[in-house]
Amino acid sequence: MSTVARRSPLATAGTLARRAASAVQGWPWWLQVTALYGSSRLVTACIFMAAALHQGPNPWFPPKPDYWNFINIWDARWYGQVIAHGYPSVLPTDAAGNVQENTWAFYPLFPALAGGLSRLTGLAPAASLTLIAMLAGWGAALAVYALFRQKAPHAAAMWGVAFFAAFPVSAVLQVPYAEPLSLLLLAGALLLVVRRRYLLAAPVVVLLCFSRPVGVPFAAMLGLLLIVHAAAYIRRGRQVSAPGDAHQAKDLAALTGLTAVAGVSALAWPAAAWVATGDPQAYTKTETVWRGHDLVPFKPWFDTGVDLFGPVLGVLAPPVFEVLFGALLFLPPVVRLGAELRLWCACYMVYLLAFLHPQTSTFRMLLPLFPLALGAVFLSRSRAYRGTVVAMFLLLQIVWVVWLWAWAQLPSGGDYPP
Protein backbone atom coordinates (compact mmCIF):
# COMPACT_ATOMS: atom_id res chain seq x y z
CA MET A 1 0.00 0.00 0.00
CA SER A 2 1.38 3.44 -0.90
CA THR A 3 2.20 6.12 1.62
CA VAL A 4 -0.54 8.33 0.25
CA ALA A 5 -3.09 5.58 0.68
CA ARG A 6 -2.16 5.10 4.33
CA ARG A 7 -2.72 8.76 5.18
CA SER A 8 -5.79 9.61 7.21
CA PRO A 9 -8.45 11.88 5.70
CA LEU A 10 -7.55 14.58 8.23
CA ALA A 11 -3.89 14.49 7.26
CA THR A 12 -4.79 14.70 3.58
CA ALA A 13 -7.14 17.64 4.26
CA GLY A 14 -4.41 19.37 6.23
CA THR A 15 -1.94 18.94 3.38
CA LEU A 16 -4.43 20.35 0.89
CA ALA A 17 -5.15 23.30 3.18
CA ARG A 18 -1.45 24.08 3.51
CA ARG A 19 -1.01 23.88 -0.25
CA ALA A 20 -3.99 26.16 -0.78
CA ALA A 21 -2.63 28.64 1.77
CA SER A 22 0.77 28.57 0.08
CA ALA A 23 -0.84 29.22 -3.31
CA VAL A 24 -2.84 32.16 -1.95
CA GLN A 25 0.31 33.69 -0.49
CA GLY A 26 1.70 33.91 -3.99
CA TRP A 27 -1.21 36.04 -5.19
CA PRO A 28 -0.93 39.85 -5.51
CA TRP A 29 -1.95 41.69 -2.34
CA TRP A 30 -5.12 43.08 -3.87
CA LEU A 31 -6.27 39.61 -4.89
CA GLN A 32 -5.55 38.25 -1.41
CA VAL A 33 -7.58 41.06 0.14
CA THR A 34 -10.38 40.48 -2.37
CA ALA A 35 -10.50 36.77 -1.58
CA LEU A 36 -10.49 37.43 2.16
CA TYR A 37 -13.13 40.15 1.98
CA GLY A 38 -15.29 38.20 -0.47
CA SER A 39 -15.23 35.13 1.78
CA SER A 40 -16.31 37.20 4.77
CA ARG A 41 -19.19 38.70 2.80
CA LEU A 42 -20.36 35.24 1.71
CA VAL A 43 -20.47 34.17 5.36
CA THR A 44 -22.47 37.28 6.20
CA ALA A 45 -24.82 36.63 3.27
CA CYS A 46 -25.53 33.18 4.70
CA ILE A 47 -26.29 34.78 8.07
CA PHE A 48 -28.69 37.23 6.41
CA MET A 49 -30.44 34.47 4.45
CA ALA A 50 -30.83 32.30 7.53
CA ALA A 51 -32.29 35.24 9.48
CA ALA A 52 -34.63 36.05 6.57
CA LEU A 53 -36.15 32.56 6.80
CA HIS A 54 -37.34 33.46 10.31
CA GLN A 55 -38.47 37.00 9.47
CA GLY A 56 -42.12 37.46 10.37
CA PRO A 57 -44.55 40.30 9.56
CA ASN A 58 -42.80 43.63 9.10
CA PRO A 59 -43.41 47.08 7.58
CA TRP A 60 -41.72 46.37 4.24
CA PHE A 61 -42.47 42.95 2.71
CA PRO A 62 -44.18 39.59 3.36
CA PRO A 63 -42.61 37.16 5.85
CA LYS A 64 -39.59 35.10 4.78
CA PRO A 65 -38.26 37.53 2.16
CA ASP A 66 -35.42 36.76 -0.22
CA TYR A 67 -31.90 38.03 0.44
CA TRP A 68 -32.17 41.16 -1.73
CA ASN A 69 -35.39 42.35 -0.15
CA PHE A 70 -34.11 41.54 3.31
CA ILE A 71 -31.02 43.76 3.03
CA ASN A 72 -33.01 46.66 1.51
CA ILE A 73 -34.74 47.78 4.70
CA TRP A 74 -34.27 50.33 7.48
CA ASP A 75 -32.16 53.29 6.28
CA ALA A 76 -31.92 51.81 2.78
CA ARG A 77 -35.53 52.93 2.27
CA TRP A 78 -34.61 56.48 3.25
CA TYR A 79 -31.84 56.59 0.65
CA GLY A 80 -34.36 55.35 -1.89
CA GLN A 81 -36.61 58.25 -0.94
CA VAL A 82 -33.75 60.69 -1.50
CA ILE A 83 -33.31 59.32 -5.03
CA ALA A 84 -37.04 59.46 -5.73
CA HIS A 85 -37.99 62.76 -4.09
CA GLY A 86 -34.80 64.59 -3.07
CA TYR A 87 -34.77 66.76 0.06
CA PRO A 88 -37.76 68.81 1.26
CA SER A 89 -37.67 72.60 0.97
CA VAL A 90 -40.03 72.78 3.95
CA LEU A 91 -39.41 70.61 7.00
CA PRO A 92 -42.39 68.33 7.66
CA THR A 93 -44.06 68.95 11.03
CA ASP A 94 -46.91 67.52 13.06
CA ALA A 95 -49.96 69.42 14.30
CA ALA A 96 -47.94 70.77 17.24
CA GLY A 97 -45.20 72.10 14.95
CA ASN A 98 -42.63 69.45 15.85
CA VAL A 99 -40.28 68.49 13.02
CA GLN A 100 -40.87 64.96 11.74
CA GLU A 101 -38.46 62.40 10.29
CA ASN A 102 -37.21 63.43 6.86
CA THR A 103 -34.39 62.90 4.39
CA TRP A 104 -32.16 65.79 5.56
CA ALA A 105 -30.66 63.35 8.07
CA PHE A 106 -29.16 61.33 5.20
CA TYR A 107 -26.07 62.73 3.53
CA PRO A 108 -26.21 63.15 -0.26
CA LEU A 109 -23.15 61.48 -1.79
CA PHE A 110 -24.36 57.87 -1.58
CA PRO A 111 -27.87 58.46 -3.01
CA ALA A 112 -26.45 60.85 -5.63
CA LEU A 113 -24.09 58.17 -6.94
CA ALA A 114 -26.82 55.52 -6.86
CA GLY A 115 -29.31 57.84 -8.55
CA GLY A 116 -26.81 58.60 -11.28
CA LEU A 117 -26.11 54.91 -11.82
CA SER A 118 -29.83 54.19 -11.91
CA ARG A 119 -30.46 56.81 -14.57
CA LEU A 120 -27.43 55.72 -16.58
CA THR A 121 -28.14 51.98 -16.59
CA GLY A 122 -31.87 51.72 -15.97
CA LEU A 123 -31.32 49.77 -12.77
CA ALA A 124 -33.90 50.15 -10.02
CA PRO A 125 -32.75 52.56 -7.28
CA ALA A 126 -32.60 49.74 -4.73
CA ALA A 127 -30.33 47.72 -7.03
CA SER A 128 -28.09 50.75 -7.67
CA LEU A 129 -27.80 51.46 -3.95
CA THR A 130 -26.93 47.83 -3.25
CA LEU A 131 -24.34 47.63 -6.05
CA ILE A 132 -22.55 50.82 -5.01
CA ALA A 133 -22.54 49.76 -1.35
CA MET A 134 -21.05 46.37 -2.17
CA LEU A 135 -18.38 47.81 -4.47
CA ALA A 136 -17.55 50.50 -1.91
CA GLY A 137 -17.21 47.85 0.80
CA TRP A 138 -14.72 45.98 -1.37
CA GLY A 139 -12.86 49.21 -2.07
CA ALA A 140 -12.83 49.99 1.65
CA ALA A 141 -11.16 46.64 2.38
CA LEU A 142 -8.44 47.41 -0.19
CA ALA A 143 -7.94 50.91 1.24
CA VAL A 144 -7.82 49.57 4.80
CA TYR A 145 -5.10 47.12 3.79
CA ALA A 146 -3.09 49.87 2.09
CA LEU A 147 -3.42 52.00 5.23
CA PHE A 148 -2.41 49.15 7.53
CA ARG A 149 0.63 48.40 5.35
CA GLN A 150 1.97 51.82 6.33
CA LYS A 151 2.24 50.51 9.89
CA ALA A 152 2.66 46.74 9.60
CA PRO A 153 4.05 43.94 7.42
CA HIS A 154 1.81 42.11 4.98
CA ALA A 155 0.69 39.28 7.28
CA ALA A 156 -0.34 41.60 10.12
CA ALA A 157 -2.11 43.94 7.68
CA MET A 158 -4.07 40.99 6.29
CA TRP A 159 -5.13 40.01 9.80
CA GLY A 160 -6.21 43.61 10.36
CA VAL A 161 -8.40 43.39 7.26
CA ALA A 162 -9.79 40.09 8.57
CA PHE A 163 -10.75 41.77 11.86
CA PHE A 164 -12.31 44.65 9.92
CA ALA A 165 -14.25 42.36 7.58
CA ALA A 166 -15.50 40.08 10.34
CA PHE A 167 -16.36 42.76 12.92
CA PRO A 168 -19.85 42.13 14.39
CA VAL A 169 -21.43 45.09 12.58
CA SER A 170 -19.46 44.62 9.34
CA ALA A 171 -22.62 43.08 7.92
CA VAL A 172 -23.55 46.68 7.12
CA LEU A 173 -20.78 46.72 4.50
CA GLN A 174 -22.98 44.77 2.08
CA VAL A 175 -26.32 46.50 2.62
CA PRO A 176 -27.52 49.75 0.98
CA TYR A 177 -26.21 52.01 3.73
CA ALA A 178 -23.72 54.88 3.37
CA GLU A 179 -21.18 53.24 5.70
CA PRO A 180 -19.25 51.30 3.01
CA LEU A 181 -18.74 54.43 0.89
CA SER A 182 -17.86 56.54 3.92
CA LEU A 183 -15.33 53.97 5.16
CA LEU A 184 -13.74 53.80 1.71
CA LEU A 185 -13.28 57.57 1.73
CA LEU A 186 -12.17 57.64 5.37
CA ALA A 187 -9.53 54.96 4.84
CA GLY A 188 -8.36 56.75 1.69
CA ALA A 189 -8.17 60.10 3.46
CA LEU A 190 -6.27 58.63 6.40
CA LEU A 191 -3.89 56.88 4.01
CA LEU A 192 -3.09 60.15 2.24
CA VAL A 193 -2.65 61.97 5.55
CA VAL A 194 -0.29 59.27 6.84
CA ARG A 195 1.68 59.57 3.59
CA ARG A 196 1.60 63.38 3.97
CA ARG A 197 -0.11 63.83 0.61
CA TYR A 198 -2.20 66.62 2.06
CA LEU A 199 -3.14 68.36 -1.18
CA LEU A 200 -4.26 65.09 -2.77
CA ALA A 201 -6.31 64.36 0.35
CA ALA A 202 -8.40 67.54 -0.02
CA PRO A 203 -10.93 66.26 -2.61
CA VAL A 204 -11.22 62.96 -0.75
CA VAL A 205 -12.00 64.81 2.48
CA VAL A 206 -14.64 66.93 0.74
CA LEU A 207 -16.38 63.77 -0.52
CA LEU A 208 -16.01 62.19 2.92
CA CYS A 209 -17.85 65.12 4.51
CA PHE A 210 -20.77 64.57 2.12
CA SER A 211 -20.98 60.84 2.81
CA ARG A 212 -21.58 60.61 6.56
CA PRO A 213 -21.38 63.04 9.53
CA VAL A 214 -17.69 62.42 10.23
CA GLY A 215 -16.32 65.74 8.99
CA VAL A 216 -16.20 67.42 12.39
CA PRO A 217 -13.97 64.79 14.07
CA PHE A 218 -11.81 64.53 10.96
CA ALA A 219 -11.25 68.28 10.92
CA ALA A 220 -10.49 68.16 14.66
CA MET A 221 -7.94 65.39 14.06
CA LEU A 222 -6.23 67.46 11.36
CA GLY A 223 -6.19 70.51 13.60
CA LEU A 224 -4.53 68.61 16.43
CA LEU A 225 -2.07 67.04 14.02
CA LEU A 226 -1.22 70.50 12.72
CA ILE A 227 -0.57 71.72 16.26
CA VAL A 228 1.69 68.74 16.98
CA HIS A 229 3.79 69.19 13.84
CA ALA A 230 3.88 72.99 14.08
CA ALA A 231 5.14 72.74 17.66
CA ALA A 232 7.85 70.30 16.56
CA TYR A 233 8.80 72.66 13.73
CA ILE A 234 9.14 75.58 16.13
CA ARG A 235 11.19 73.49 18.58
CA ARG A 236 13.62 72.66 15.79
CA GLY A 237 14.16 76.39 15.35
CA ARG A 238 13.02 76.25 11.72
CA GLN A 239 16.11 74.30 10.75
CA VAL A 240 16.74 74.16 7.04
CA SER A 241 18.26 70.73 7.46
CA ALA A 242 15.88 68.50 9.39
CA PRO A 243 15.33 64.76 9.75
CA GLY A 244 13.63 63.15 6.79
CA ASP A 245 10.48 62.40 8.77
CA ALA A 246 10.08 65.98 10.05
CA HIS A 247 7.53 68.40 8.64
CA GLN A 248 8.91 71.32 6.66
CA ALA A 249 7.22 74.68 6.08
CA LYS A 250 5.60 73.50 2.85
CA ASP A 251 4.16 70.44 4.66
CA LEU A 252 2.70 72.64 7.38
CA ALA A 253 1.19 74.95 4.76
CA ALA A 254 -0.43 72.02 2.97
CA LEU A 255 -1.72 70.57 6.24
CA THR A 256 -3.12 73.97 7.19
CA GLY A 257 -4.97 74.14 3.89
CA LEU A 258 -6.34 70.61 4.32
CA THR A 259 -7.52 71.45 7.84
CA ALA A 260 -9.37 74.50 6.53
CA VAL A 261 -10.96 72.47 3.73
CA ALA A 262 -12.09 69.82 6.23
CA GLY A 263 -13.53 72.42 8.60
CA VAL A 264 -15.54 74.14 5.87
CA SER A 265 -16.67 70.84 4.34
CA ALA A 266 -17.79 69.50 7.73
CA LEU A 267 -20.32 72.36 7.95
CA ALA A 268 -21.37 72.27 4.30
CA TRP A 269 -24.30 69.84 4.65
CA PRO A 270 -25.96 71.60 7.62
CA ALA A 271 -25.44 74.85 5.68
CA ALA A 272 -27.10 73.31 2.61
CA ALA A 273 -30.10 72.32 4.72
CA TRP A 274 -30.28 75.89 6.04
CA VAL A 275 -30.18 77.39 2.54
CA ALA A 276 -32.75 74.97 1.14
CA THR A 277 -35.27 75.28 3.99
CA GLY A 278 -34.56 78.76 5.37
CA ASP A 279 -34.15 77.24 8.84
CA PRO A 280 -30.58 77.52 10.26
CA GLN A 281 -31.29 74.50 12.51
CA ALA A 282 -32.88 72.34 9.80
CA TYR A 283 -30.21 69.65 9.98
CA THR A 284 -29.95 69.44 13.77
CA LYS A 285 -33.74 69.51 14.16
CA THR A 286 -34.00 66.61 11.75
CA GLU A 287 -31.24 64.60 13.40
CA THR A 288 -32.77 65.00 16.86
CA VAL A 289 -36.19 63.75 15.72
CA TRP A 290 -34.95 60.18 16.15
CA ARG A 291 -33.76 61.02 19.68
CA GLY A 292 -37.03 62.46 20.90
CA HIS A 293 -35.40 65.56 22.46
CA ASP A 294 -33.10 68.47 21.66
CA LEU A 295 -29.36 68.07 21.35
CA VAL A 296 -27.43 68.71 24.57
CA PRO A 297 -23.79 67.62 24.25
CA PHE A 298 -22.75 64.65 26.44
CA LYS A 299 -26.07 64.62 28.38
CA PRO A 300 -27.62 61.57 26.63
CA TRP A 301 -24.75 59.37 27.78
CA PHE A 302 -25.33 60.32 31.40
CA ASP A 303 -29.09 59.80 31.01
CA THR A 304 -28.53 56.35 29.51
CA GLY A 305 -26.00 55.54 32.21
CA VAL A 306 -28.52 56.42 34.91
CA ASP A 307 -31.18 54.29 33.20
CA LEU A 308 -28.85 51.30 32.99
CA PHE A 309 -26.82 51.52 36.20
CA GLY A 310 -28.70 53.80 38.58
CA PRO A 311 -28.12 57.39 39.76
CA VAL A 312 -24.61 56.87 41.13
CA LEU A 313 -22.91 54.37 38.81
CA GLY A 314 -24.78 55.85 35.87
CA VAL A 315 -23.18 59.25 36.37
CA LEU A 316 -19.76 57.67 36.82
CA ALA A 317 -20.02 55.35 33.81
CA PRO A 318 -19.35 57.91 30.99
CA PRO A 319 -16.19 59.46 32.54
CA VAL A 320 -14.89 56.01 33.50
CA PHE A 321 -15.39 54.89 29.90
CA GLU A 322 -13.58 57.98 28.63
CA VAL A 323 -10.62 57.32 30.93
CA LEU A 324 -10.45 53.66 29.87
CA PHE A 325 -10.61 54.54 26.18
CA GLY A 326 -7.94 57.20 26.66
CA ALA A 327 -5.73 54.65 28.41
CA LEU A 328 -6.30 52.24 25.51
CA LEU A 329 -4.74 54.74 23.11
CA PHE A 330 -1.50 54.64 25.12
CA LEU A 331 -1.11 50.87 25.14
CA PRO A 332 2.00 49.80 23.20
CA PRO A 333 0.07 47.91 20.46
CA VAL A 334 -2.05 51.02 19.80
CA VAL A 335 0.90 53.43 20.02
CA ARG A 336 2.35 51.53 17.05
CA LEU A 337 -0.52 52.89 14.93
CA GLY A 338 1.10 56.32 14.89
CA ALA A 339 -0.10 59.79 15.74
CA GLU A 340 -2.55 60.19 12.85
CA LEU A 341 -4.59 57.05 13.50
CA ARG A 342 -4.57 57.48 17.28
CA LEU A 343 -5.70 61.09 16.98
CA TRP A 344 -8.47 60.06 14.60
CA CYS A 345 -9.76 57.43 17.05
CA ALA A 346 -9.60 59.91 19.95
CA CYS A 347 -11.40 62.68 18.06
CA TYR A 348 -14.06 60.36 16.71
CA MET A 349 -14.80 58.90 20.14
CA VAL A 350 -15.07 62.39 21.68
CA TYR A 351 -17.43 63.31 18.83
CA LEU A 352 -19.62 60.28 19.58
CA LEU A 353 -19.70 61.10 23.27
CA ALA A 354 -20.54 64.74 22.59
CA PHE A 355 -23.19 64.41 19.90
CA LEU A 356 -24.45 60.84 19.64
CA HIS A 357 -27.54 59.65 21.45
CA PRO A 358 -26.59 56.16 22.67
CA GLN A 359 -28.90 53.51 21.24
CA THR A 360 -28.68 50.25 19.33
CA SER A 361 -27.42 52.14 16.24
CA THR A 362 -24.34 53.08 18.26
CA PHE A 363 -22.77 49.70 17.47
CA ARG A 364 -22.82 50.59 13.77
CA MET A 365 -21.29 53.99 14.52
CA LEU A 366 -18.17 52.28 15.89
CA LEU A 367 -16.96 51.11 12.46
CA PRO A 368 -14.90 54.29 11.79
CA LEU A 369 -12.70 53.19 14.70
CA PHE A 370 -11.41 50.42 12.40
CA PRO A 371 -7.70 51.43 12.87
CA LEU A 372 -7.95 49.81 16.30
CA ALA A 373 -8.32 46.48 14.47
CA LEU A 374 -4.62 46.65 13.64
CA GLY A 375 -3.88 47.47 17.27
CA ALA A 376 -5.78 44.32 18.23
CA VAL A 377 -3.61 42.37 15.77
CA PHE A 378 -0.45 43.80 17.34
CA LEU A 379 -1.63 42.57 20.75
CA SER A 380 -0.44 39.03 19.97
CA ARG A 381 1.22 37.20 17.09
CA SER A 382 -0.53 33.97 18.05
CA ARG A 383 -2.63 32.55 15.23
CA ALA A 384 -4.86 30.93 17.83
CA TYR A 385 -5.60 34.35 19.34
CA ARG A 386 -6.21 36.01 15.98
CA GLY A 387 -8.34 33.14 14.69
CA THR A 388 -10.38 33.16 17.89
CA VAL A 389 -11.06 36.89 17.49
CA VAL A 390 -12.32 36.35 13.94
CA ALA A 391 -14.51 33.43 15.03
CA MET A 392 -15.93 35.46 17.92
CA PHE A 393 -16.68 38.37 15.61
CA LEU A 394 -18.52 36.12 13.16
CA LEU A 395 -20.63 34.68 15.96
CA LEU A 396 -21.48 38.19 17.12
CA GLN A 397 -22.49 39.02 13.55
CA ILE A 398 -25.26 36.46 13.96
CA VAL A 399 -26.34 38.23 17.14
CA TRP A 400 -26.35 41.64 15.43
CA VAL A 401 -28.33 40.48 12.38
CA VAL A 402 -30.91 38.49 14.33
CA TRP A 403 -31.30 41.02 17.14
CA LEU A 404 -31.18 44.30 15.26
CA TRP A 405 -31.47 43.85 11.50
CA ALA A 406 -34.44 41.45 11.52
CA TRP A 407 -37.68 43.22 12.40
CA ALA A 408 -39.41 42.16 15.63
CA GLN A 409 -42.44 44.14 16.80
CA LEU A 410 -41.97 45.57 20.31
CA PRO A 411 -44.90 45.92 22.70
CA SER A 412 -44.40 49.69 22.59
CA GLY A 413 -44.46 49.66 18.79
CA GLY A 414 -41.60 49.67 16.28
CA ASP A 415 -38.29 47.94 16.82
CA TYR A 416 -34.70 48.68 17.77
CA PRO A 417 -32.85 50.18 14.78
CA PRO A 418 -29.61 48.57 13.58
Domain count, the chain: 1
Residue 338's domain spans which residues? 25-405
Q: What is the pLDDT of residue 1?
A: 46
Residues 281-320 have pLDDT tens digits of 999 999 988 876 777 888 888 888 888 888 888 889 899 9
pLDDT over threshold 80, residue 124: yes
Q: What is the pLDDT of residue 373?
A: 98
pLDDT over threshold 80, residue 245: no
Residues 345-362 have pLDDT tens digits of 999 999 999 998 888 999
Q: Is the residue at 414 inside a domain?
A: no
Q: Is the residue at 17 inside a domain?
A: no
Q: What is the pTM of this model?
A: 0.93
Considering the chain, what percentage of its residues have pLDDT values greater than 90? Answer: 78
Q: What is the pLDDT of residue 238?
A: 57
Question: 82, 46, 54: which is closest to 177 by C-alpha?
Answer: 82
Mean pLDDT computed over 178-192: 98
Q: What is the pLDDT of residue 10?
A: 45
pLDDT over threshold 50, residue 4: no
Q: What is the pLDDT of residue 414?
A: 83
Positive or negative: CA dihedral 266, 336, 375, 163: positive
CA pair distance 398, 390, nearest whole angstrom: 13
Q: Is the residue at 279 inside a domain?
A: yes
Mean pLDDT computed over 368-391: 97
Mean pLDDT computed over 152-170: 98
pLDDT over threshold 60, residue 123: yes
Q: Is the residue at 71 inside a domain?
A: yes
Q: Is the residue at 45 inside a domain?
A: yes
Q: What is the pLDDT of residue 17?
A: 43
Q: Is the residue at 175 inside a domain?
A: yes
Q: Is the residue at 19 inside a domain?
A: no
